[in-house]
Amino acid sequence: MRFIARYAKEFDDFFEIITCYDNEIKKQQIAKENATIKTLSKKYPAAIWFERKIFDDFGIIIEDSFDKRPLLHHERFPKNIHPLQKKFQDKCLQEDIYRAYKYESIQGDGVFEVAVGPIHAGIIEPGHFQFSQAGEDMLHLEVRHFYKNRGIEKMVEGKTLFEARSIIERISGNESIAYQICWRDIVLQASNTQLPVSLQKRHAFFLELERVIHHLSDLGFIPNDAGFGAALAYCSKLAEDARRKMQEFSGHRFGFGAINFENSFIDTVFTKEWLHNLREDIEKFQEWIIDVPSLWDRLDTTGVLPLKKAIKYSCVGVVARASGVAVDRRINPFYFENGFELVTEVSGDVGARFKVRLSEIKNSITMMKNFLEEDETKCTLDPIKDGEYSSFVESSIGELFMSVDIQEGQITRFFVRDPSFMNWQALHIMMQKDIIADFPLINKSCDLSYAGNDL
């Protein structure tokens, strides 16, 4: 079974632990007094972050875990405070005494440590990378994030689905459409409503446009981190054009508010012409970039994630598919009928992740043409019913999972597992056998979200 997520809920008399796999959901009730669960991390290494988060959120102890350090609670976070417990209602926290965080490290003659971050020389959110080095060689990397934990899970409690929408769609800017579609699917389930095919196509069009924008940015930045800045100039222009199209179609550059229950007008003739021209531009880019040997000397065999490790760490998205893992939430009749083709590579290196993105952009353009319809269909929703709902969507980074519990019309538990939460945990594997100068290149080839990761 493929591991997807593990999280907790609180009820009046007990905690419930939910473990989600690709073909099964397991629930376990545990008493609140001395609440304890067994770790899954020995079988599923990616479970460790979920379990550390469960302790930080609820105070539930994880037995037999190899890592019991705080995940969300940084050095001055007060002890014995677990914000997702129902009794916690404080609006601010008093800083506690400083408690040093003990990083993993490798000991030995000539081994030293290099700290990168959490503040970076770029417009990105904070994230810390702690290296153990022997000269230029990377021996080990530990990723530490959660510097901008915004408390979103707590923030949406007590809100209706529609009141929470503006928060949910802004969790991660480069996955706004994907988050909205997850939200949409939960609304449809809770209202027992079937979405008309024309609206399914319009929403899928926006999702592929978001993927194209994200992939175009990566196709520029990856070569740029290998010293080939011309690719960044070329792809940045295409990405900006696509971003302006998103604003034209949805009213916002990041597509906020794009996923509605009625279609607005899109000029299909001019949009198909733009897509045709974009396809030609991508073909020219591919012919050019493939024939730069010095670039591929940097991309090939760098940052390798083997197939077995990608499976073991439950990786998703481009990171998984570049290592040969056939995992994609678009594997369904609706997408196949509209031209979807699963793209995989086998080498699992930076070059493979670059090639997957290149092929996926072309496939997205094909699907977007098929999704275009001049249709102004509306969908009427029935009232929202209480219950437990969950949804999946294939964002530009990978599989996004969302779970929402509704009681008396209000959200009582909101949980999201961004694809980055899985893939960040496998990043250290890609660094082995490479030099530290390759770290930015490897990291960018995965292009994971800090915001989606740090709820």
- The residue-averaged pLDDT of 324-340 equals 97
Whether 157 shows a pLDDT value over 80: the answer reads: yes
239: CB partners within 8 A, 6+ apart: 213, 216, 217, 220
- Show the 3-state SS of the chain: CCEEEEEEEECCCEEEEEEEECCCEEEEEEECCCCEEECCCCCCCCHHHHHHHHHHHHCCEEECCCCCCCCCCCCCCCCCCCCCCCCCCCCCCCCCCCCCCCCCCCCCCCEEEEEECCCCCCCCCCCEEEEEEECCEEEEEEEECCCCCCCHHHHCCCCCHHHHHHHHCCCCHHHHHHHHHHHHHHHHHHHCCCCCHHHHHHHHHHHHHHHHHHHHHHHHHHHHCCCCHHHHHHHHHHHHHHHHHHHHHHCCCCCCCCCCCECCCCCHHHHHHHHHHHHHHHHHHHHHHHCCHHHHHHHCCCCCCCHHHHHHCCCCHHHHHCCCCCCCCCCCHHHHHCCCCCCCCCCCCHHHHHHHHHHHHHHHHHHHHHHCCCCCCECCCCCCCCEEEEEEEECCCCEEEEEEEEECCEEEEEEEECHHHHHHHHHHHHHCCCEHHHHHHHHHHHCCCHHHHCC
Greater confidence, 298 or 90? 298
Domains of the chain as residue ranges with CATH: 1-101 (no CATH), 103-148 (no CATH), 155-453 (1.10.645.10)
Tell me the average pLDDT across 168-190: 97
70 pLDDT tier (thresholds 50, 70, 90) = very high
Is it the case that residue 374 has pLDDT exceeding 80?
A: no
HSE toward the beta carbon, residue 40, CA cutoff 13 A: 23
Q: What is the pLDDT of residue 264?
A: 83
Q: Look at 129-143, 305-319, 346-360 and tell me which has the smallest mean pLDDT.
A: 129-143
pLDDT for position 377 = 79
Residue 380 above 80 pLDDT?
yes
pLDDT of residue 122: 75
* pLDDT per position as a tens digit, 183-194: 999 999 999 999
- What pLDDT score does 195 carry? 94
Angle at which helices 229-250 and 268-290 cross, to 10°: 170
* Mean pLDDT value across residues 76-101: 91
How many alpha carbons lie under 13 Å from residue 446 in its C-beta half-sphere? 32
Which pLDDT score is estimated for 155? Answer: 95
* pLDDT computed for residue 436 by the predictor: 93
- The structure tokens listed for 107 are 């000991």
Instruction: Choose among 298, 321, 306: nearest CA to 429.
Output: 306
Q: How confident is the model at residue 363 (pLDDT cuts 50, 70, 90)?
A: very high
Query: pLDDT grade, residue 245 (50/70/90)?
Result: very high
Confidence category of residue 396, pLDDT binned at 50, 70, 90: very high
Average pLDDT (203-215) is 98
100-116 pLDDT, tens digit each: 999 988 889 999 999 99
